[in-house]
Every structure is written in structure tokens, then in C-alpha cells.
Structure 1
Amino acid sequence: MNTRVHFYHNTPDRLALAGELVGRALERGRKAAVRLPDAASLKRFDQLLWTREALSFLPHVPIDSPLAAETPVVLAAAGGDEAWPHADMMFNLADDVPPGFDRFRLLVEIVGQAEADRLPARARWGTYKQRGCELKAFDAELRVAL
């Protein structure tokens, strides 16, 4: 299986966009692995999923939870030994290529507006291209395909 990779560039708020896209994925019956840069980002994203809309709930747990295999959204900070319980979709907000990304049907890269976000994203794009992944790019702020 060749992993499809979607890059959302020019994102004003990476966590907010990830929350929106994860919510849409769940509405379609998908499962999502969300890889965040660090523990602080994971905590902020966890809080965002609890508070994003008054009447919505996105079931989620950290990757080390005993309920991870049964929960549609699993969260982990980069740098750990991520043994994801499913291989449907991964959302990567970290600056590196996720280990084992090629197990997933779809990898979503969310890239901020700062140059510090764009440079590592260009390197990841090159890696995915070399690995034969199908790549698509979108401008997250303008909401258009590039």
C-alpha cells in the first residue's frame, strides 16, 4: 500500500486545523492517530478536543491508555516509541517524518506559517516523494488546493 500524503500549508493555527480535520474524519467513520511535537502540545490539543464545540465530543486517549485500541482518536508526542493501534489516518504536527508512517492509508501534514515550520516541511515533502507517496498540497488559510 502506498501512503497518500496531504500537506496543509500556511496554517494560522495548527492545533485548531488538526481538531477540525480530526472531527471531520470521525464523522466519516475514520480513525485518527495524532502525532504532536511534544507533551505540552499534546496537552493543549487534548484540551482543544474537549472544548472545541459545546455539543460535540471527539473520543480520544493518549497512546499509552489501555483503551487506545478501542478509541478512534489516539494522541502521542513525537520522540516516543509509537505503536499505533490502527493504521487509517495519521496527523503529523511534529517537524520530522513519523516512524512507520507508511503503515497508514493517509498521512496529513499540518504546516504553520512561520519559516521555522516551512523548512522542515519541505524536507519531509522530499522524503515522501522519494518514497513514492502520492502527494497533495492545500493552502489551509485560503482553503484551496495548490
Structure 2
Amino acid sequence: MTRVEFFFNVENKALQVADLGSRAVGKGRRLMVYMGSQQAAEQLGNFLWSNPPIGFLPHCHATHPRAAETPLIIDWRSESLPHDDILINLQSQHPPFFSRFRRLIEIVGLDETDKAEARERYRFYRDRGYEIRTFDANGAALS
């Protein structure tokens, strides 16, 4: 069953993705970042060219010819996903395909609308029997 984790009160979601991505890729894991739009995906991709500052996270879209061998995929579409390791959701709704992944990470910002949408996703996963772990922005466990 997919392991679900929420990171709450995140001031900068792109920075949180870079941090989680660096740690996961360093351990040989693969990530899919599910974005709300093509523009948002491109903005995150541009951000990752210089973050982390002393490293580089290889990334591309799911339809790129090298997607199967690239550790971090950033996309807004759900077709042709090249792996099923870690999914980071940056959309306001739950990803309809999340259960194919080993781990799902929800990143929740400071905005009240974002928090309300996250509570809905939390209830969705909880009501379906998924075990949920919660963390604050610095990674300290809340539950």
C-alpha cells in the first residue's frame, strides 16, 4: 500500500521539492512531481537548474526520450509515467493514479486555501485506509 506523507506549513514549495529530491536521488530513489499546469512544471524545472546550489537534480518531463533513466520527472500529465517510486503532489486534488506509487508526498503551504484543500486530500486518503504521517516544514514528525 502507498505510504502517504504530508509536509505542512511549507514556505517555499519549490525549495522543499529540491530538498526532498536531493535527499531521495542521493539514496538512489526516483521521483515524479505532479504539477497543476505546464507553466508550473516549467517554472519548477527552471528553479531546479540552480537548486540545490551546490548540486544538480537531473530532471525532465515524462514524455522526454530520457525520462526512463532520469531520476526526477516533473509533469502535469498522468500518462506515460516512467516509474512508480515516489510521487510528490503539487496539485490541489489527489492524483487519480497515486496508488501505483510506493510513496506519496503532499506539500502544503501557508495559504489558507492550500491548507483547506490539503485537509480534503487528507480525509480522502484516511477514509480509504491509508496510513498517513505528518511533518512540519522542517521535517519534524507531527504524527
1:53 and 2:52 equivalent?
A: yes
Q: Which runs of 4+ in 1 moved over 6 A?
A: none
Higher strand share: 1
The Cα shift of 1:102 comes to: 0.3
Q: How many residues align?
A: 142
Deviation at 1:24, TM superposition (A): 0.6
* 1:93 maps to 2:97: no
What 5-or-longer segments of structure 1 have no aligned partner? none
Q: What displacement does 1:82 show?
A: 2.9
Q: Residue 144 in 1 paired to residue 140 in 2?
A: yes
Using structure 2 for the length normalisation, give the TM-score. 0.94
Unaligned runs of 5+ in 2: none
Shift of 1:72: 1.0
Q: CA deviation at 1:54?
A: 4.2
With the length of structure 1 as denominator, give the TM-score of the two structures: 0.92
**Which residue of the partner structure matches residue 114 of structure 2?**
117
Rounded Cα–Cα distance in structure 2 between residues aligned with 1:82 and 1:120: 24
The within-5 A match list for 1:1-146 is 2-77=1-76, 80-140=77-137, 142-146=138-142
CA–CA separation in structure 2 for the residues paired with 1:82 and 1:124: 21
The CA RMSD over aligned residues, in Å, is 1.2
Tell me which amino acid in the other structure corresponds to 1:22.
Answer: G
